[in-house]
Amino acid sequence: MSKPSLPKPGLSKSGLSKPSLPKISNYQFLSAAQLGIWSGQRLNLKSSVYNAAECIEIIGPLDVDTFVEAVREVAKQADTLHCRFVQTDNVPRLFVDEKRDVVVEVIDISEQSMPRDYVQQLSQQDLATVVDLEEGPLYREVLLVAGPRHFFWYQRAHHIALDGYAFSMLARNVSEHYQLLSGKGKSLNAERAVYFSPIERALNEDKDYRASDKFVRDKTFWQSYLSDMPTPVSLAKSNNAAMTNVIKRHTGELSVSFLDKLKKLASQKNLAWPDILIASFAAYLARAQRCEEVVLGLPVMNRLGSATIKIPAMVMNIIPLRVAVDGEQSIIDIANNVAGQIRLGRKHHRYRYEDMRRDSNLIGGGKKLFGPVINVMPFDYQLNFGDCESRAHNISAGPVEDLSIGIYARADGNALRVDFDANPELYGDLSLQQHYSSWISCLQQWLQEPAAFCKNILIDAELGNLEAHLISGAELAAPTRSIVADIFKWVETEPDTIALIDGDNNLTYQSLWQNAQQIAVRLTRNGVTEGDNVAIYMPRGKFGIVAILGCLLAGACFVPVDPNGPKQRAMHILNDISVKAVLSSGEHLSCESIADYPVLSVEDELLTPVECSPLNINLDSNAYIMYTSGTTGQPKGVQTSHGALAHFARSAASYYQVSKNDRMLQFAPLTFDALIEEVFVTLVSGAALVLRNDRMLQSFEEMLSGCQYHQVTLMDLPTAYWHEMALSLCQNEPAENQLPTSLRGIIIGGEAALPERVSSWCERFPDVDLWNTYGPTETTVVATAAKLSGGNLNQQVEKAMKSVSIGLPLPGYHALILDEKGYPVPKGVEGELFISGPALSSGYINRAEETAKRFVEIKHWDSPVKAYRTGDKVCLVQCKNDSQLTTSEQLFYLGRVDDEFKISGHRVSPVEIENVILTFSGIEQAAVIGHVLQGGVRRLVAHLVVAQGAELTSQENGFAALKQHLGQFLASAVIPSEYLLVDKLPKNSSGKIDRKQLHADYLAQAERFDFTALSSEEKAVIQCWQEILGRQSIQLQDDFFILGGQSLQTIQVASRLSSALSLDISVADIFEYPTASELAGFISAKLTNAELTSEEDLVEMVW
């Protein structure tokens, strides 16, 4: 089809003869409505933005000559179509061109095979016509003939002449006059028919209003109404777009049955059905933008009780409609609010929105008086052209700033037509269609369940633009080089700066680099190439750090494996990654687990020095693989690329403001991803890494003394360990130098922090920064963080939430909170947390199906978002800063959507443990439940159903073989500490194990213990063990470690007994005296100053 083009009218450049200017006495002042549009047009005389148009489709035996005559006569009577607007003495005025020439063009389009599409194209082209308000014409009338029984009547007019209601007035009167001319109308002479009142009446009425007391009262009303109005929100990506009449449109229809349900519901609730439509869109917009109040634009006719009811002119106004939306409200509640707001402003509709904007200082700068405009138009045209049928098609209702929703009620009672007209600079075709579908979906749900809370209505299409729902950290440029290159920068510029402190032995950046070079060269000479997997099979220490850097220098991917962990787990990991080489040290070199692989000792040195510059590493290749709990009974490897690692390290270093003057405590084992934070955030910043020694774990006094000795400025601690340190320090009387004088901040993470511990800590140590961090391994260590100290703690919110803020995303990270259907939830509503950004893992090695489940594409927006589905429940809450009286949004962790559990920094899938338990002979069913007991104590309990005749008793010794079996596959921290035999496991209505019931039953079964026969020391030990291990039935002969005591619990016992008894009890003491009786005896002897001490051997703690 060739590009359509409407022929130009033939009388003159404008299509009409140029009017002669009248005498000055005939000029009239513009109405306020006209003046607003005239002023807007003057800003750009070449703009066509104020053109409006409609098309009436006519099917039947239309008499063309009679129709043209009817249009000509009715148009001739409409004063505003013949107005001319000029400036005299710098004042805009108008006059009516009394020649009233009317041209009606008739154009044959019968050769077009698709006439509706053709007319639409012609209309859009004609809308671009620039109208000269001084010369005119202000309008255009065209009849397009598609066939002998098919016609399109096209009308275009400048908005200064006609509003939407005026278009309908013209159309109805043309229909009536056609009937008169055809002899089928009222018994009235067509030549004497008068349809409209003169424009002068409307102008005088407007002038009188603006000089009246009512104008003053209306102004006062709107100033009060708008005084505390929130900033209007919209569904658009931004607010920076000029008005346009070239629109994107999505049109839909609401069926007759839909309309009937709507009207029935409105009748039952004593509402008007448009109130429910407006309320539903307000609720949708509020949910989309996570706000509690929206401001809509509501067009009003302004004609009832006015002379303008018989004058086709620009009279309509748009008033702001404030709608408060509470998630706990139903659609009926909100509709009543809408109806009340409309009633409130009804007496004040004549006060122009241009005046409101001026009064509220909302002129320019993208400032808005309202967001989307919603217009319910009950004046559908019931036109009669003899035996013809007709139907109106709105082409453009005028300028659109953001989004304009037109709802047209048919006079014949048929379906409602809904037009979503959008500014094309703000909305795409897809987003417009999705917004429409999503709103209608919400409306349908409300019609089915009118009492449903707004927060519970599910969204079936996208909710607004992506940026409206992304919770984003500060901007951070994507990395262009690897972490190795970042570290090499310090080797070049600060070679003699200390990089690593191991006791009294230091490694400078140059010596650390040279040691790593040695490893890299040896790996290369043993066949390791870029991208190969190399296992790091050694405990935490200096050689482990060097081995990691050596792997990266060789372009290899390092995979930490715990040499002290379960043999089966180690063998699974080595097999899973197809390991090319193993780096190990000391006694671990000859371990059976690595016997089948090439093993290199990190303690061996090359005889000749080597030179090695950092490789040009592909940022998409793997830097490391960290293994976490898996639901199949086998751990799964999380692959992290060089790009993700580099992004995280820079992001965290920026957030914590790490500099080369800092000293970071290296606390975590190699197999914990906290190690990644400690090592790489430190080294990319040119700071020093301080390795903790085993003695530092014997007591908090030793820990803090060691940090003081090495002038540690930053501590990165497991939350569980910090909990105990906080309890110990905050319970005691304040003392000088409880914390190292060098310490400026502590980073905690690994599990949820306890609000009471955080509160006590921040009160005691307000000058030491405390960062609470959150992040699954799949998002590269830390994804969000909250600075809790320095007045940032909002105790009221955290008490109500029963949790501590996990803050906001780190620089370059993004978060989304989605409901169970995968759509954004409003602020304050619980949902599942999704993390996106360049630091995401590339997925699980050899686990394509699992990767697809957890690393998802969210496709609601024009650009799909790759995100990690965390399985964690969170909500976004507006928080008040206690010290600065400011507010900010914060994320709060609320638990899991599944049964995953965190204990001692380990992420545990109960199913993984259950699958291992079920491989033990005699056990038929198993359910492992994670409990958080009083004081934050975490405990794993196994509920077992055993086969008849199985040799397994409820006594602790009876479970020794089972524990030994589990120890071959599971880390010690995730082996259940208690085992309960049951006849059967409870089931829920779905036939699955009722884990909630097991949890509740366990908490309710606490037994009372008789302390009367115990000494005070025995009582102290057993009470301490009960509290820490979360179990009541403890005997004097029980062994702490057989009962399930782990590294953290050992520290807890030593710390709490030391504090309660004012004794120096170390971790080594617990290992030396593991039964309650022995430990009580040791304590008794110390209290009497007996010569009883523990062995000096230190025990390496496992985290």
Q: What is the pLDDT of residues 287-344, one digit of tens each?
A: 778 788 999 999 998 888 899 999 999 999 999 999 999 888 899 999 999 999 999 9
Instruction: Check residue 245 and give its pLDDT.
Output: 61
Average pLDDT over residues 521-544: 93
Question: Which residue matches tokens 């792997």?
Answer: 551
Mean pLDDT, the chain, whole residue set? 84
From residue 857, give the alpha-carbon distance in Å to each of 779, 852, 863, 957: 15, 9, 10, 50
Instruction: Check residue 909 and give its pLDDT.
Output: 74
Minimum mean pLDDT range among 324-333, 362-371, 626-635: 626-635
Q: Is the pLDDT of residue 69 over 90?
A: yes
Instruction: Give the percent of the chain with pLDDT over 90.
Output: 46
pLDDT band at 10 (very low <50, low <70, confident <90, very high): very low
Average pLDDT over residues 253-274: 91
Q: What is the pLDDT of residues 940-950, one digit of tens each?
A: 888 888 877 66
Q: What is the pLDDT of residues 462-484, one digit of tens each?
A: 444 556 678 999 988 878 889 99
DSSP 778: G
Instruction: Check residue 391 and give its pLDDT.
Output: 86
Instruction: Check residue 477 and give its pLDDT.
Output: 83
Average pLDDT over residues 126-132: 93
Instruction: Check residue 106 and give its pLDDT.
Output: 96
Q: Which CATH class is domain 223-464?
A: alpha beta
Contact 890, 877 (CB under 8 A): yes
Instruction: Check residue 53 and give its pLDDT.
Output: 93
Q: Is the pLDDT of residue 644 over 90?
A: yes
User: Domain 24-204 maps to which CATH number in 3.90.1150.10, 3.30.1600.10, 3.30.559.10, 2.60.120.10?
Assistant: 3.30.559.10
Residue partners of 653: CB distance under 8 A and separation at least 6: 681, 684, 685
Average pLDDT over residues 146-160: 96
Q: What is the pLDDT of residues 437-453, one digit of tens each?
A: 888 888 888 888 898 88
Compare 527 and 190 and report the one with higher pLDDT.
527
pLDDT band at 1045 (very low <50, low <70, confident <90, very high): confident
Instruction: Give the percent of the chain with pLDDT over 70.
Output: 85
- Separation of alpha carbons 969 and 747, rounded Å: 31
Q: Which fold has domain 483-896?
A: Rossmann fold (3.40.50)
Instruction: Check residue 622 and give its pLDDT.
Output: 96
Q: What is the pLDDT of residues 1062-1084, one digit of tens each?
A: 788 888 888 888 888 888 888 88
Instruction: Check residue 745 and give its pLDDT.
Output: 95
Instruction: Check residue 1103 and give its pLDDT.
Output: 46
- Separation of alpha carbons 374 and 558, rounded Å: 59
Handedness of CA 33, 39, 45, 47 (dihedral sign): negative
DSSP 176: H
Question: Which residue matches tokens 């086998």?
Answer: 634
Q: What is the pLDDT of residues 25-54, one digit of tens each?
A: 578 999 999 999 999 898 889 989 899 999
Instruction: Please indicate whether the domains covering 24-204 and 223-464 agree at the CATH topology level.
Output: yes
Reading the block at residue 419, the tokens are 């037009």
Q: What is the pLDDT of residues 206-226, one digit of tens each?
A: 999 999 999 999 999 999 999
Q: What is the pLDDT of residues 391-430, one digit of tens each?
A: 888 888 878 889 999 998 765 566 788 999 998 888 888 7
Residue type, 524: T
Average pLDDT over residues 165-185: 89
Q: Is the pLDDT of residue 867 over 90?
A: yes
Q: Is the pLDDT of residue 839 over 90?
A: yes
Average pLDDT over residues 902-929: 79
pTM of the model: 0.57
Instruction: Check residue 459 and give its pLDDT.
Output: 57
Average pLDDT over residues 1014-1041: 80
Q: Is the pLDDT of residue 3 over 50?
A: no
Compare 633 and 60 and report the one with higher pLDDT.
60
- Separation of alpha carbons 692 and 698, rounded Å: 11
Residue type, 303: R
Domain boundaries, the chain: 24-204, 223-464, 483-896, 901-992
CA dihedral 893, 895, 898, 902 (to 10 degrees): 90
Q: Is the pLDDT of residue 523 over 70?
A: yes
Instruction: Check residue 1092 and give its pLDDT.
Output: 45
Q: Span 901-992: which CATH code? A: 3.30.300.30
